[in-house]
Structures are given as structure tokens and as C-alpha cells.
């Protein structure tokens, strides 16, 4: 729940006076021009950044362990380049429990990286890295899924994979997508335009 939420960099308000309650199991799209604050708001919801004003609460979740309840995929998040695909999954699972329905080998095959399971991530294309980031987020055993420009660097097959993963493994979660591409948030029934929260304060 966001109440009177605002974020300012120097004297410029990225967004201001935002009141909204996200509900478990529903799907939301954050839309707006480049620089409107989509990524910033997702980072605040994830606990990576703080508000300049207002409050954010995560319901009954403990604020000290909220990171365990949230998974996120974003172009600016880094993978460990020296790890193989399998090692990245094993490392990730030490911080965040993974979905037990599929094992890592099955997930890697599902996202089209079977032949790269033992390949160092540094040798991956940008599209391969994005597939891996999506899988780590979607298959995390966390009720909140944040997706920032989730199809960045993906080709047509990548888009199809993204929608397959969402519809088969993530629709039970609270999903918040930050994007300007309707194909990335076509399954979201609610849209929040951050352009509506640009009030200026002196």
C-alpha cells in the first residue's frame, strides 16, 4: 500500500501524491513516458530504494524479510558472469527459495538454455541473459513478482516464452509490470499511469 508517496531527485519530483493499494493475485501495469518513474517505483516496492515522502507498507509481511517475498527481473540487474547457468540457479536459491514443481534442469530446458547449462554467463547473448533473469524471478517461490521491461533484448520467440511462463507459472502471484510496450503487460487488467502523479511542490 502506497500512501501519499513521492520520490524526488534533487528538486525534481519523479512522481508525487501517489495513493494505491496492490492486491495479491492481481496484475498491474505501470505505464508512462520514459523517465516517468516506472523503474523507480518498482525499486521502491522491492525495497531497493526509499520514498522521499509518504509511506509504503507490505501488508502482513515483515519489512526486514520482505525481500524473500518479492522477486524482480529488470535489465539493470546483473547476473554473476563467472557462473554457469546451473551455478546461478544454485546461488540464487541460497537467498530465495525456488519453486519446487520443476528442478533446475527442467527450468533451464524450458527457457531454451539446455545447451548452455554449463556455459559461463559471460558468453551469453543479451537475450539469453534476459531469459535467465525472467526464469530466476518467475520460478522464485515468492508471492510478489516485479517485472521491469521484461522483454528487453528478446526476439519473437522470447516474447512467446515470456507469455508462456507468465500464464503457466505466475498468474497466481501479484504481478506489477513497468513497461511502455503493451505486449509486455497485455495480461494486466489494471493500469496505473505515472503521468497522473506529476504534481509539483515548492
Q: Beta partners for 2?
A: 20, 56
pLDDT for position 201:
60
Burial pattern 34-70, b for ≥16 Cβ within 10 A else e, equals eebbbbbbbbbbbbeeebbebebebeeeeeeebbebb
CA distance 178 to 200: 23
pLDDT for position 67:
87
Question: Across the 202 residues of the chain, what is the mean pLDDT of every consecutive 10-residue run?
Answer: 95 93 97 92 94 93 87 95 96 90 95 95 97 97 97 96 97 97 97 87 54
pLDDT for position 103:
94
Q: Beta partners for 18?
A: 5
Q: How many beta carbons lie within 10 A of that of residue 119, not counting itself?
A: 14
Amino acid at each position: 500500500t502506497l500512501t501519499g508517496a513521492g520520490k524526488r531527485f534533487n528538486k525534481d519530483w519523479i512522481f508525487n501524491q501517489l495513493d494505491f493499494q496492490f492486491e495479491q493475485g492481481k496484475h498491474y501495469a505501470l505505464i508512462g513516458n520514459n523517465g516517468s518513474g516506472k523503474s523507480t517505483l518498482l525499486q521502491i516496492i522491492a525495497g531497493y530504494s526509499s520514498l522521499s515522502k509518504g509511506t509504503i507498507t507490505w501488508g502482513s509481511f515483515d519489512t526486514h524479510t520482505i525481500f524473500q517475498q518479492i522477486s524482480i527481473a529488470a535489465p539493470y540487474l546483473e547476473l554473476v558472469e563467472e557462473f554457469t547457468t546451473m551455478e546461478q540457479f544454485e546461488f540464487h536459491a541460497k537467498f530465495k527459495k525456488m519453486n519446487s514443481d520443476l528442478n533446475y534442469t527442467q527450468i533451464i530446458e524450458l527457457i531454451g538454455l539446455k545447451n548452455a547449462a554449463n556455459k559461463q554467463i559471460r558468453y551469453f547473448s543479451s537475450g539469453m541473459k534476459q531469459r535467465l533473469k525472467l526464469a530466476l524471478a518467475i520460478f522464485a517461490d515468492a508471492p510478489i513478482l516485479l517485472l521491469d521491461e521484461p522483454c528487453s533484448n528478446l526476439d519473437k520467440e522470447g516474447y512467446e516464452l515470456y507469455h508462456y511462463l507468465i500464464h503457466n507459472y505466475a498468474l497466481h502471484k501479484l504481478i506489477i509490470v513497468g513497461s511502455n510496450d503493451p505486449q509486455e503487460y497485455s495480461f494486466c487488467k489494471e493500469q496505473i499511469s505515472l503521468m497522473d502523479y506529476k504534481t509539483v511542490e515548492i
